[in-house]
Amino acid sequence: MATQRITHWIDGAPWNGVSARAGDVFDPATGQVSGRVDLAATADVDEAVAAAVAALSQWRRSSLTARTQVLFAFRELLNARKEELAAIITAEHGKVLSDALGEVTRGLEVVEFACGIPHLLKGGFSENVSTKVDVYSIRQPLGVVGIISPFNFPAMVPMWFFPVAIACGNAVVLKPSEKDPSAAVWVAALWKEAGLPDGVFNVVHGDKEAVDRLLEHPDVRSVSFVGSTPIARYVYETGTRAGKRVQALGGAKNHMVVLPDADLDLAADAAVNAGFGSAGERCMAISALVAVGPVADELVAKIRQRMDGLTVGDGTRGCDMGPLVTAAHRDKVASYLDAGVGAGAELVVDGREQKIDGADEGFWLGPTLFDRVEPGMTLYTDEIFGPVLSVLRVGTYDEALELVNSNPYGNGTAIFTNDGGAARRYQNEVEVGMVGINVAIPVPMAYYSFGGWKHSLFGDSHAHGMEGVQFFTRGKVVTSRWADPSQRGTGGAVNLGFPTHD
């Protein structure tokens, strides 16, 4: 297969850059190299930031009407051509086409939210707070903002941030994952088609070198990061030390608690969908199923029965689940199967035995189910980020809550029950940022904010919703005095005391 070169996108056009470094991009379903992506040197990042700085002065002054027209045009183009983007995602990430289309649709919702920016940016106004004095608040863009995204949602995760950032009047430098970089460049070309001025949206590909330059560049005002916890912590600490506003979303270990009174068919369907969708490579995937009281045997049987019907293969062939993103990641995930067996967990379904509808060289591992997992096992302590679902058995609701709240991560969780009071208690007591009640993947709509607690998010701001608008703007409060025309020339009074109101 011919390999394509994937270049940066700077100032409204593809840009080759000065770095001689490049990385392989794979089609995970065939195991073949499909492209070579440029890996930016510091000078390449500087070029992108300079283009963003140059574009900023005009973009931040453009009217809300002008900005909204571009956003609506982008929304229409993306909606009309979302299948194209989904195909690019499947080709480099491996997730099945329907799932890739779902990711684009969820990103599109943030674009639609950002189309309402004139309303979202409205400030407050208080008339006559003191005689002839009014006070009002406005929100202004930060400037050049950096976005650094992970491999698992090459379109949706960048879209959590850039529609809002651009709508607020900022210029963007996006550093997508080097594992599936093509979606970002496709989106950049779409912005141009939508009428966004050159330089407002730039893409630099790369690794640590590009990230480090974004974190230290004096013209980059904020960094929005999504990825694993160790890198999220590093980005937060380094970026804030350099004086930037940083939101850094990290890894996850999401629990689904099933109470004895739950609808077990609903719970089993949800566990399979949330455990194995996108091969478990979702930050909101369920990886720990907490069976409370006597439900475990029946629940495990129902899950196993559903897993028998799952098909795994090339994402373009209508299968339920695709490959993992790289051979190295597949091998790492598979190593947890041996570790789990060695530690004494019960391997109920072994994903290595799954029949595959795809090339032998693809990065395959089928859905895997473990029962009787204990909290000390690596199956539970580590974020595996693959199609491995662990069942933990506990006796009571309190034990389940204690387990979830003791976990260092706090991204998402779900409770399955028919007892509204128990659900209400869980939503109040659980130390997790996003909670589902009989909903296994509680990803908030774009007009709410997405983000976890504890080691799943460093910083104070979650993504999109009003927190996104606040993250990408600075507040300013204006106090103004205008005399009535009939009183002009009468002056004020000299008074060196601290201003008070009359």
Token look-up 């204690």 returns: 402
- Per the CB < 8 A criterion, the answer to whether 8 and 205 are in contact is yes
Q: Given the complex with ligand NAD, which of 27 and 383 has the nearer CB atom?
A: 383
The distance of closest approach from Cβ of residue 67 to ligand NAD in the complex, given in angstroms and rounded to an integer, is 27
- Per the CB < 8 A criterion, the answer to whether 373 and 380 are in contact is yes
The distance of closest approach from Cβ of residue 216 to ligand NAD in the complex, given in angstroms and rounded to an integer, is 12
Residue 227 to residues 155, 176, 230: CA-CA distances in angstroms?
Answer: 14, 11, 9
Q: Given the complex with ligand NAD, which of 144 and 259 has the nearer CB atom?
A: 144
The distance of closest approach from Cβ of residue 33 to ligand NAD in the complex, given in angstroms and rounded to an integer, is 18
Q: Given the complex with ligand NAD, which of 12 and 459 has the nearer CB atom?
A: 459
The distance of closest approach from Cβ of residue 58 to ligand NAD in the complex, given in angstroms and rounded to an integer, is 29
Contacts to ligand NAD by CB under 6 A: 148-153, 157, 175, 177-178, 207-208, 211, 226-228, 231, 249-252, 283, 383, 385, 411, 452, 456
Percent of residues in the chain assigned helix, strand, coil, to nearest 5: 40, 25, 35
The distance of closest approach from Cβ of residue 15 to ligand NAD in the complex, given in angstroms and rounded to an integer, is 18
Residue 366 to residues 114, 307, 345, 386: CA-CA distances in angstroms?
Answer: 38, 10, 18, 9
| Separation of alpha carbons 48 and 40, rounded Å | 10
Residue with CB nearest ligand NAD? 227
| Separation of alpha carbons 117 and 71, rounded Å | 10
Q: Residue 26 phi/psi, 5° resolution?
A: -110, 155
- Two tokens at 194? 């939508």
| Separation of alpha carbons 164 and 67, rounded Å | 11
- Per the CB < 8 A criterion, the answer to whether 164 and 469 are in contact is yes
- Per the CB < 8 A criterion, the answer to whether 372 and 291 are in contact is no
Angle at which helix 208-216 crosses helix 229-241, to 10 degrees, equals 30
| Separation of alpha carbons 223 and 215, rounded Å | 7
| Separation of alpha carbons 207 and 205, rounded Å | 7
The distance of closest approach from Cβ of residue 70 to ligand NAD in the complex, given in angstroms and rounded to an integer, is 26
The candidate with the shortest Cα–Cα distance to 224, out of 182, 185, 173, 187, is 173
Helices (H) and strands (E) in the chain, counts: 16, 25
Q: Given the complex with ligand NAD, which of 36 and 425 has the nearer CB atom?
A: 36
- Two tokens at 306? 């559903």
Q: Given the complex with ligand NAD, which of 186 and 385 has the nearer CB atom?
A: 385
- Of 115, 168, 283, 319, which is the active-site residue? 283
Exposed, middle or buried, 459 (CB in 10 Å: 0-12/13-18/19+)? Answer: buried
The distance of closest approach from Cβ of residue 193 to ligand NAD in the complex, given in angstroms and rounded to an integer, is 25
283 catalytic per annotation? yes
- SS3 assignment, position 501: coil
Q: Given the complex with ligand NAD, which of 19 and 417 has the nearer CB atom?
A: 19
Contacts of 356 (CB under 8 A, 6+ apart): 312, 313, 362, 364, 366
Q: Given the complex with ligand NAD, which of 226 and 299 has the nearer CB atom?
A: 226
Q: Given the complex with ligand NAD, which of 34 and 254 has the nearer CB atom?
A: 254
- SS3 assignment, position 397: helix
- Per the CB < 8 A criterion, the answer to whether 170 and 144 are in contact is yes
The distance of closest approach from Cβ of residue 409 to ligand NAD in the complex, given in angstroms and rounded to an integer, is 9
Residues annotated catalytic, as ranges = 283
